[in-house]
Chain A
Amino acid sequence: MSLPTDFVTEVEQDRRRYRRKQTTRSVLISAASTLVFAVVVALVLANSPGWAVTRETFFSGHYFQLALPAVLKGLWLNVRILFFAVIGVAILAVILATLRSLRGPVFFPLRFLAAAYTDLFRGMPFLIVLYLIGFGIPALNPTERIPAAVLGTIALILTYASYVAEVLRAGLEAVHPSQRFAARSLGLTHGQTLRHIIVPQAVRKVTPALMNDFISMQKDVGLISVLGAVDAIRAAQIQQATTYNFTSYVVAGLLFVAFSWPFIRLSDWYTARLRRREQSGGVV
């Protein structure tokens, strides 16, 4: 290029100064409003009559330390269950979504069963599935003791596979039909079209929804404590029963948040990135 573009005119420098000032200003304003908000909350709390007792029962440093090891150990069980449940959900959901997308009258029974399954489990509260599996299967089979954690994992898989299957199916259908025609007219077979064209685009569409399901699974894995498996919540409950102090629940809650926080941020970041890419590629 003939003129150096890294030389910046006075007007542009002025604009940049102004934008920097605006940025600083908004940072300052948000900091100030956060501070005011925090002070108000703190004052309201500190002035409420039961605050001293509440603080001791829910936010006691002593009981926090006491509960932490047991609750952490419980969380490790949650993590392992989540690991196996995610694998199970992935497999079952793909099978269900595939069954539901099968075309042709021969497959009607399979399609119908898959649809009935997803309808049933999407409608049923997870707690009820847990009870039915957790207490129903052992009742069918009284001689053999199946660990509560295994039953909880199964319940989690059954429920979440139905959500995820629907997300996958919707994603496949959301790819514009012209993409399929374009691929078929290049001579790709039905299978190749699915593998190289439809699925890659569908994955991009469904990833935010899938990440959201995963985050909600991370919390729901705590519900298996109702079956008696000693996970983080159950460990907190045991602590509470012996000390009559509720800090252990706060510990469990904080640990769950800390555990899922990275994924929550990741999912937000990824969704924002997808949106930006669509914007710059778009015609506007």
Chain B
Amino acid sequence: MLDVKGVVKRFGDNVVLNRLDLTVDQHEVVALIGASGSGKSTLLRCVNLLEQVDDGQIFLSGTDITDPRINADKVRAQLGVVFQHYNLFPHLSVLDNITLAARKVHRTDVAVAEQRGMDLLRRIGLEDKAKAFPDRLSGGQQQRVAIVRAIATDPELLLLDEITSALDPILVGEVLDLVRHLRETGSTILMATHEIAFARTVADRVVFLDGGRIVEQGPPAQVIDAPTEQATRDFLSRVLH
């Protein structure tokens, strides 16, 4: 599905990703953890082609998306992305936010797109907000709409970057329930998170990033509960206590 091979990303002298390798299989949920500044967001931005890698390759469904000959817009149309700050478009209603890509990028029929948009809103219990504008929604509601907007076009891979860090604990619960639901319906997800407890319950695999490389990875029970590397233990002891 996603295959990151030897990716290097530098900002000036700061080597943020240092020949990093990572694979994500279909229907797999992978959680990236690591200290602040360890390059989680940078990796997601490279996959989303918002940053140009300095070396290495990234394959999405077998296509090398770092090849400058390919159309970046086509690649992004296969990806769903949600960032920390729910970037809903303030001048569009909730429903229009959700159906925008379907209508403008995928050229879906408006009625079909709205039907699907309403289905998604019903799933997150916000169908009565369809005509409302984003500023009338709570933070958790906005973030759920942002996630639903990202999956509305059935992306092959969903990238989530700290989607709960701007929310209070109760709203976090709402959003995490939605991610769990997505996992059950077979979405492929690569997410950066500080919610170790959440990573433990939802992720198939946890990947610990340090110094621009993957230090340790495996099922949550192994990486979080029985880490073998010293760096992982240090990090976890700092965030868990």
Contact = CB atoms under 8 A, between A and B. Distances in A.
Bound pair (A, B): yes
Interface of A: 1-3, 5, 8-9, 11-12, 15, 18-19, 22, 283-284
B20 to A, nearest CB: 10
A199 to B, nearest CB: 26
Given A5-B8, A5-B15, A11 B85 contact: no
B19 A5 contact: yes
A9 B55 CA distance: 7
A179 B127 CA distance: 34
B232 interface: no
Q: Which of A5, A9, A283 has the most CB of B within 10 A?
A: A5
Interface of B: 6, 8, 10, 15, 18-19, 45, 50, 54-57, 66-69, 83-85, 87, 211-213
B68 A19 contact: yes
21 contacts: A1-B15, A1-B18, A2-B18, A2-B213, A3-B19, A5-B8, A5-B10, A5-B19, A5-B55, A8-B55, A9-B6, A9-B55, A11-B56, A12-B55, A12-B56, A15-B67, A18-B68, A19-B68, A22-B68, A283-B85, A283-B87
Contact of A3 (B18, B57, B66, B67): B18
Nearest to A11: B57
A5 B211 CA distance: 13
A15 B70 CA distance: 12
B83 A284 contact: yes
Contacts of B67: 15
A150 B15 CA distance: 60
Nearest to B50: A284
Contacts of A2: 18, 213
Contacts of A22: 68
A3 B6 CA distance: 11
9 smallest A-B Cβ distances: which pairs?
Answer: A12-B55, A1-B18, A283-B85, A3-B19, A5-B8, A283-B83, A5-B15, A18-B68, A19-B68
Given A5-B18, A283-B85, 7 more contacts: A1-B18, A1-B211, A8-B55, A9-B55, A9-B56, A11-B57, A11-B66
Nearest to B81: A284
Nearest to A18: B68
Contacts of B56: 9, 11-12
Nearest to B64: A11
A107 B160 CA distance: 52
